[in-house]
C-alpha cells in the first residue's frame, strides 16, 4: 500500500513531468490565437488524427519505435549519472553498417538476414561507445565531451563513405545502395506499420525488466546515487560503467538498424533527420524522467507531435511549424527543470530572496 508521503512524491514527479508540456502548449495556444485560429480545434485535429484513426496511430507507433530505443539508451546511462551524448552517432553508425550488410549479404533467409543486420548494427553502436566508456571508467575523462566530439566525427566519416566508396551512383542524390527486399520490414496493409514496432516494444520490455528486477539494474541505480559507496559495498564500478555504456550503444545501434530496415532502406545524409532521432531520444528520456513507463508514454506523445504536424497544416489554417515551436519550448522548459533539479537553482534563489526580505525587515525595525 502506497503511503501518503510516497503518493505525494509520485504526484509531484508526475506534475513536474507534465508541466513543461502544459507550458509549451499554452505558449503555442497564444501564438495560434495571434494567427487568428482556435487553439482547441488545432490541438484536437492533431491528437485525433494521430491517435484516434487507424492510419494515424500506426504511423505514430512506426515513428515512435526507434525513438523509444534511443530514449532508453540515454536513460540507462543517465540513471547511473553517466551522460552518453553519443547516442545519435551510435544510431547512425549502426544504421549505416546494417544498410550495407542488407545490400551485400546475398542468398540468406530473410529472417536470418534481418538478425544479422541487427547484430551488426548493435556491434557498431557498442564499438562507438567503447572508447568513451574506457576513458570514463579508468581515466575519469568526461564522457559528455568525448561522445559529443565523436558524434561530429562519425557524421563526417559516414558522409565521406556515402559520397565515395559506398555511393549508389545510379541515384540522383548522395546515398548508399538500397537494401535487399529480404532485409526490409514490409509494411502491413496500407499503413506504415511494420513488424519492427513489435520487435522494438519486446526489446523495450526486456530492458525494463532488467533495469527493475536484476542485479545490473540495482548496480546502475547505486552508481548513480553514490559511486563511492557502491564501490565500498563491492560493486565493480569500472566494469559496470563499461557494461552500461555498451548496452546503451547496442540499443542505439539497434534503433538505427530498425530505422534503416523499416523506413529509409538506404543511408542518406539526412538519415536521422533534424535534429536527429538520438536527440529526440534525449528529450523523451528527460520527459519520461528515465522511467521505462514514462519513456514509453513520452515517446508516443512526441511521435504524435511529429505525426500531427502534417495534419495541422492540412485541416487548419495554422502552419505546421507550430509543432516545431512547441517541441522547442518543451526542450527549453525541460532544460530549466533539469538544471533546477541538478543544481537547485530555484530553491537557492528563493532562499536568497527570503534572506533579503528578512534583512530588509530587520533594517526597517532598527530604523
Output the tens digit of pLDDT for each of the chain's 367 residues. 455 666 666 666 777 778 899 999 999 999 999 999 999 999 998 999 899 988 899 999 999 999 999 999 999 999 888 999 999 999 999 999 999 999 999 999 999 999 999 999 999 999 999 999 999 999 989 999 999 999 999 999 999 999 999 999 999 899 999 999 999 999 988 888 899 999 999 999 999 999 888 888 888 888 887 776 666 666 788 999 999 999 999 999 999 999 999 999 999 999 999 889 999 999 999 999 888 999 999 999 999 998 888 778 888 888 888 998 998 999 888 888 777 666 666 565 556 656 666 655 655 555 5
**Rounded distance between C-alpha atoms, residue 14 and residue 185, angstroms:** 36
Q: What is the dihedral of CA 86, 89, 90, 96, to 10 degrees?
A: 180
pLDDT for res 224? 80
Cβ atoms of residues 92 and 274 within 8 Å? no
Q: How is 46-71 classified by DSSP, letter by letter?
A: HHHHHHSSHHHHHHHHHHHHHHHHHH
Helix (H, G, I), strand (E, B) or coil at 175: strand
pTM of the model: 0.89
Task: Report how far apart, in Å, the C-alpha atoms of 87 and of each of 11, 128, 281, 288 are.
Answer: 31, 9, 8, 17
**Rounded distance between C-alpha atoms, residue 207 and residue 209, angstroms:** 5
Q: Give the three cell numbers for residue 172.
A: 540522383
> Other C-beta atoms within 10 Å of 154: how many?
21
Helix (H, G, I), strand (E, B) or coil at 285: helix
pLDDT for res 1? 47
Q: Give the three cell numbers for residue 145.
A: 565531451
Q: Give the three cell numbers for residue 228.
A: 563511492
pLDDT for res 257? 98
CA angle 240–146–76, rounded 5-degree value? 35
Long-range (24+ apart) CB contacts under 8 A made by 183-189 are: 183/101, 183/102, 183/103, 183/105, 183/110, 183/113, 183/114, 183/117, 183/261, 184/102, 184/261, 184/262, 184/265, 185/114, 185/258, 185/261, 185/262, 188/58
Amino acid at each position: 500500500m502506497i503511503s501518503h508521503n510516497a503518493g505525494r512524491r509520485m504526484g509531484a514527479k508526475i506534475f513536474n513531468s507534465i508541466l513543461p508540456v502544459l507550458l509549451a502548449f499554452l505558449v503555442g495556444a497564444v501564438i495560434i490565437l495571434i494567427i487568428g485560429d482556435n487553439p482547441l480545434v488545432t490541438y484536437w485535429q492533431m491528437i485525433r488524427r494521430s491517435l484516434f484513426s487507424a492510419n494515424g496511430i500506426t504511423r505514430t507507433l512506426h515513428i515512435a519505435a526507434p525513438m523509444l530505443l534511443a530514449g532508453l539508451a540515454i536513460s540507462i546511462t543517465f540513471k547511473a549519472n553517466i551522460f552518453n551524448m553519443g547516442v545519435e552517432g551510435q544510431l547512425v553508425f549502426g544504421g549505416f553498417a546494417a544498410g550495407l550488410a542488407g545490400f551485400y549479404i546475398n542468398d540468406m533467409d530473410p529472417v536470418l538476414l534481418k538478425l544479422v543486420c541487427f547484430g551488426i548494427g548493435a556491434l557498431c553502436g557498442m564499438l562507438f561507445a567503447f572508447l568513451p566508456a574506457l576513458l570514463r571508467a579508468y581515466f575519469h575523462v568526461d564522457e559528455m565531451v568525448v561522445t559529443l566530439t565523436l558524434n561530429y566525427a562519425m557524421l563526417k566519416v559516414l558522409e565521406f563513405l556515402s559520397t565515395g566508396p559506398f555511393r549508389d551512383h545510379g541515384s540522383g542524390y548522395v546515398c548508399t545502395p538500397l537494401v535487399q527486399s529480404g532485409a526490409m520490414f514490409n509494411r502491413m496493409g496500407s499503413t506504415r506499420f511494420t513488424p519492427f514496432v513489435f520487435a522494438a516494444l519486446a526489446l523495450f520490455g526486456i530492458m525494463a525488466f532488467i533495469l527493475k528486477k536484476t542485479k545490473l539494474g540495482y548496480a546502475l541505480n547505486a552508481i548513480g546515487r553514490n559511486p563511492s559507496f557502491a564501490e565500498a559495498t563491492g560493486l565493480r564500478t569500472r566494469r559496470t560503467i563499461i557494461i552500461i555504456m555498451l548496452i546503451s550503444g547496442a540499443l542505439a545501434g539497434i534503433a538505427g538498424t530498425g530505422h534503416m530496415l523499416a523506413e529509409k532502406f538506404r543511408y542518406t545524409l539526412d538519415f536521422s533527420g533534424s535534429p536527429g532521432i538520438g536527440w529526440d531520444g534525449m528529450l523523451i528520456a528527460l520527459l519520461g524522467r528515465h522511467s521505462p513507463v514514462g519513456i514509453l508514454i513520452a515517446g508516443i506523445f512526441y511521435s504524435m507531435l511529429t505525426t500531427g504536424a502534417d495534419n495541422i497544416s492540412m485541416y487548419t489554417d495554422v502552419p505546421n511549424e507550430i509543432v516545431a515551436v512547441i517541441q522547442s519550448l518543451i526542450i527549453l522548459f525541460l532544460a530549466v527543470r533539469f538544471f533546477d533539479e541538478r543544481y537547485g537553482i530555484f530553491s537557492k534563489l528563493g532562499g536568497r530572496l527570503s534572506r533579503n526580505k528578512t534583512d530588509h525587515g530587520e533594517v526597517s525595525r532598527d530604523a
